[in-house]
Chains A and B, each alone.
Chain A
Amino acid sequence: MTFWKRFITNRGALFGLAILIAVLLLALLAPLLFPRGPWAMVQRPFLVPFSTDGLPLGTDTLGRDVLAGLVYGARVSLLVGLVSTVMALLIGVPLGALAGFYGKWVDEAAMRFTEFFQTIPNFALAIVLVAILEPSLTSITIAIAIVSWPPVARLVRAEVMSVTRREYVDAARLAGLSNMHILVRQVLPNTVSPIIVMASLMVATAILLESSLSFLGLGDPNIMSWGFQIGAARTVIRSAWWLSFFPGAAIVLTVLALNLIGEGLNDALNPHLSRKGRS
């Protein structure tokens, strides 16, 4: 069975993929769907959902369209999630690979460095970083990347260590290939599947982190995001439930979709596991 066939037989993963594609489409089409942007004050404030034509999810404290906010928020969430994950991979993969491949003092140094970051609680570190750098889309993305790379480094190190002990790597050494060549061409390609699975889950975590930061008021004040919507709705949660409910649901669905996809990928990339069924 090919990878793709194994993936689509997993219903959960397909469901997740469908949601993600839908969110992605909405995010891409946002400027076409809501040309006035998410901040336009279009109607009276506090309109209840499904009560007014053209405003299916109602309006917020300033009379802004909640649906427009959701759709534009999707762009921010996905963008931050993807970019920060790519950045985290760019830090974590090389560091972990070098540590695992060379061992000895390189390993020691790299792992102590990684532990330094791991001992500080993720969220606390992210808050401090954003506060120091002043909240903006860039600083938030960087902060999330900085707090999320250590697990990648550890995973890659472990994978590389186990792959490096295989016979074909010894064979490559005997064939006179350079260390770099062996690491990049022979070892790393064999560690890709766990990295992909981890990356898909990291995107989900990143979205949650971004939302939490925005909720606390540490978001980019010029950008509409789901966390911002919930944070702004916090003070009126008892009189206007829909302001926090819909963005909350959007976060839940997107994170769920990414988790399902991650699990699907995990099963599909690891035929051994998928045949036995997930434990």
Chain B
Amino acid sequence: MKLLKATTFLVAAAMATGAAAQQDGGRLDLIVQPEPPGLMLGLVQNGPTQMVAGQIYEGLLRYNQDLEPQPSLAKEWEISDDGMTYTFKLQEGVKWHDGEPFSAADVIFTTKFLQDNHARFRGAFSHVESVEAPDDNTIVIHMKEPYGPFINAFEAGSMPIVPKHIYEGTDYATNEMNNTPIGTGPYTFVEWEKGSFIHLKKNPDYYLDGLPHIDDLYYRVVPDAASRAVAFETGEVDVLPGGAIENWDVARLTKMDNVCSTSEGWEFFAPHAWMWLNNREGPTSNKLFRKAVMYALDREFVKDVVWNGFGKVPTGPVSSKTNFYTDDVPQYPHDPEKAKELLKEMGYDGTPVRLLPLPYGETWQRWAEAVKQNLEEVGISVDIDSADVAGWNEKTANWDYDMAFTYLYQYGDPALGVARNYIESQIQKGSPWNNVEGYVNPEVDAMWEAAAVEPDNAKRQDMYTEIQQKIVEDVPVAWLLEIEFPTIYRCEVKNLITTGIGLNDGLRDAWIEQ
């Protein structure tokens, strides 16, 4: 048995803050954008919900910025050498926000609860044979097969532990306690004034001594990007999460006095942007054409100009922040001449291609315009389509596009967040998140399958390296950018981002210098 020792909290805290002592108290105002549809994290898992509810609910584990597991509700854990058994030791003396004690029974109940309500959890737990609780503080998970990425599936967003005493035997979706969520986390729910703010306060009975530090959290809802920037300037809010304001405003706000910014805290998600290229029909079904597109794009320019220098030009399907990344793949620098040669070789006849931008604001619109210009300069004629969010979903999910912008999260492991976009079994109309481009390569499919259940990490790395090389050679989609969303905050807020999901669970350790 190989033992993964849990770093104790005290050591972690001392390392993170150095000599300075944390101060308790204060109030923090953050932006949440858009307003979440609900806060019951077991039922709703979209971005804004995770950001707020991640302070209320907890998972068994958290992940640091290198995506290594850290203790959360589980204080220690072991993985058997064959990768078939996971044993978690739970924290002791944990109470739900309503005073009921937390135990292994809640974890067992959660695995049933999430089966019905959480697609990503269902995916990860399809490799699980059974879950048992030998005593009140121990959870043992037996696997059907070794599944390397499994250890990455325990943070609050992937597996939020929900209270058995509230949900057992009720209709989960209509349980009225969904409006006043009860978790084990460092902050408790106080009030939600719809369209205005969500108020959380410090959990006085939190099981880690001295945490959290801040008394009150206010998540403010401000619908317009320019107004959000102004709210920060006037001091009304202290934290702008990534993506809360247009990129053009980032440079202006970070120049203000006493304003700090960081692009950390997205390592676990590693948002990866690309254009779907329809592999089924039209010019984009030709590999030479797709390669020409890659050479025609000036991706560095977009990074510098449209994204104000934030982010990184990707080498392929896997983000450099995700485990098992390699840069040992064919490269596609900006080379219009090469693009023209490839188009000539394929005999491109000038058939216009439709380009569908992501309707997420000005940044994305400018991006589409830059891409169109790049492509037209090598002789590809491009019509920009327009669609609202619903229309974009509809068109991509039903393959009614030639090229379409998107970005997706990677969840730390290629098997969790990358494979779904390239394997044949994920070709299904109706979802904009699967293999929308229609890439079919049985050889690579087999490699994906083998890599996911390989228990040895060194071997997994070799397999994923080969997968990345093959896919980058085929260019099923045009990878554009590893997106970085800068978080902007007042410098007196300390320890704001300490994990791979950043603000989503970071308020536990944050404190304000008075």
A associates with B: yes
Are B225 and A235 in contact, with the CB atoms below 8 A? Answer: yes
A238 contacts chain B at the CB level, 8 A cutoff: yes
Chain A positions 222 through 254: 1 when the CB is less than 8 Å from some CB of chain B, otherwise 0: 100000000010111011000000000000000
List the B residue with the shortest CB-CB distance to A39.
B373
Q: Contacts A62-B305, A221-B386 known; A238 to B252 CB distance under 8 Å?
A: yes
List chain A residues, Cβ under 8 A from B252. Answer: 238-239
In the complex, which of the residues B226, B368, B370, B386 contacts A135, with contact meaning CB atoms closer than 8 Å? B386
B366 contacts chain A at the CB level, 8 A cutoff: yes
- Chain B positions 378-416 with a Cβ under 8 Å from a chain A Cβ: 383-386
List chain B residues, Cβ under 8 A from A62. Answer: 305-306, 366, 369-370, 373
Chain A positions 102 through 124: 1 when the CB is less than 8 Å from some CB of chain B, otherwise 0: 00000000000000000000000
A40 contacts chain B at the CB level, 8 A cutoff: yes
A61 contacts chain B at the CB level, 8 A cutoff: yes
List the B residue with the shortest CB-CB distance to A45.
B305
List chain A residues, Cβ under 8 A from B225. Answer: 235
- Chain B positions 342-362 with a Cβ under 8 Å from a chain A Cβ: 357, 362
List the A residue with the shortest CB-CB distance to B372.
A39
B249 contacts chain A at the CB level, 8 A cutoff: yes
B474 contacts chain A at the CB level, 8 A cutoff: no
Distance (whole angstroms) from the CB of B147 to the closest CB of chain A: 44
List the B residue with the shortest CB-CB distance to A134.
B386
List the B residue with the shortest CB-CB distance to A63.
B305
- Chain B positions 428-486 with a Cβ under 8 Å from a chain A Cβ: none
A41 contacts chain B at the CB level, 8 A cutoff: yes
From B301, B306, B373, B383, residue with most partner A Cβ within 10 Å: B373
Distance (whole angstroms) from the CB of A157 to the closest CB of chain B: 38
Number of interface residues of A (CB under 8 A): 18
List chain B residues, Cβ under 8 A from A221. Answer: 357, 365, 368-369, 384-386
Are B383 and A235 in contact, with the CB atoms below 8 A? Answer: no
- Chain A positions 147-172 with a Cβ under 8 Å from a chain B Cβ: none
B106 contacts chain A at the CB level, 8 A cutoff: no
List chain B residues, Cβ under 8 A from A235. Answer: 225-226, 246, 248-249, 362
Distance (whole angstroms) from the CB of A217 to the closest CB of chain B: 8
Chain B positions 196 through 229: 1 when the CB is less than 8 Å from some CB of chain A, otherwise 0: 0000000000000000000000000000011000
Distance (whole angstroms) from the CB of B307 to the closest CB of chain A: 12
A149, B419: Cα distance in complex, Å:
56
A271, B372: Cα distance in complex, Å:
54
A205, B301: Cα distance in complex, Å:
39
Distance (whole angstroms) from the CB of B223 to the closest CB of chain A: 15
List chain B residues, Cβ under 8 A from A63. Answer: 305
Chain B positions 297 through 308: 1 when the CB is less than 8 Å from some CB of chain A, otherwise 0: 000010001100
- Chain A positions 45-78 with a Cβ under 8 Å from a chain B Cβ: 45, 61-63
Chain B positions 230 through 264: 1 when the CB is less than 8 Å from some CB of chain A, otherwise 0: 00000000000000001011001000000000000
A221, B386: Cα distance in complex, Å:
7
A93, B445: Cα distance in complex, Å:
66
Are A222 and B366 in contact, with the CB atoms below 8 A? Answer: no
Are B365 and A232 in contact, with the CB atoms below 8 A? Answer: yes
List chain A residues, Cβ under 8 A from B365. Answer: 217, 221, 232
In the complex, which of the residues A41, A45, A232, A238 contacts B373, with contact meaning CB atoms closer than 8 Å? A41
Q: Contacts A39-B369, A39-B373 known; A222 to B383 CB distance under 8 Å?
A: yes
In the complex, which of the residues A41, A134, A222, A236 contacts B370, with contact meaning CB atoms closer than 8 Å? A41
Distance (whole angstroms) from the CB of A58 to the closest CB of chain B: 15
Distance (whole angstroms) from the CB of B377 to the closest CB of chain A: 8
In the complex, which of the residues A61, A222, A236, A239 contacts B384, with contact meaning CB atoms closer than 8 Å? A222
List chain A residues, Cβ under 8 A from B357. Answer: 221
Distance (whole angstroms) from the CB of A247 to the closest CB of chain B: 16
List the A residue with the shortest CB-CB distance to B361.
A235
List chain A residues, Cβ under 8 A from B246. Answer: 235
List chain B residues, Cβ under 8 A from A236. Answer: 248
A232, B383: Cα distance in complex, Å:
19
List chain B residues, Cβ under 8 A from A39. Answer: 369, 372-373, 376
Which residues of A are at the interface with B, using a C-beta cutoff of 8 A?
39-41, 45, 61-63, 134-135, 217, 221-222, 232, 234-236, 238-239
The 7 closest A-B pairs by CB, nearest first: A221-B384, A235-B246, A236-B248, A39-B373, A221-B386, A235-B362, A135-B386
17 further A-B pairs in the complex, CB-CB below 8 A; given A39-B372, A232-B365: A41-B373, A62-B305, A62-B306, A62-B370, A62-B373, A221-B365, A221-B369, A221-B384, A221-B385, A221-B386, A222-B384, A232-B362, A232-B366, A235-B225, A235-B362, A236-B248, A238-B252
Q: Can you show 16 pairs from A to B with CB atoms below 8 A apart?
A: A39-B369, A41-B301, A45-B305, A61-B306, A62-B366, A63-B305, A135-B386, A221-B357, A221-B365, A222-B372, A222-B384, A235-B225, A235-B246, A235-B248, A236-B248, A238-B252
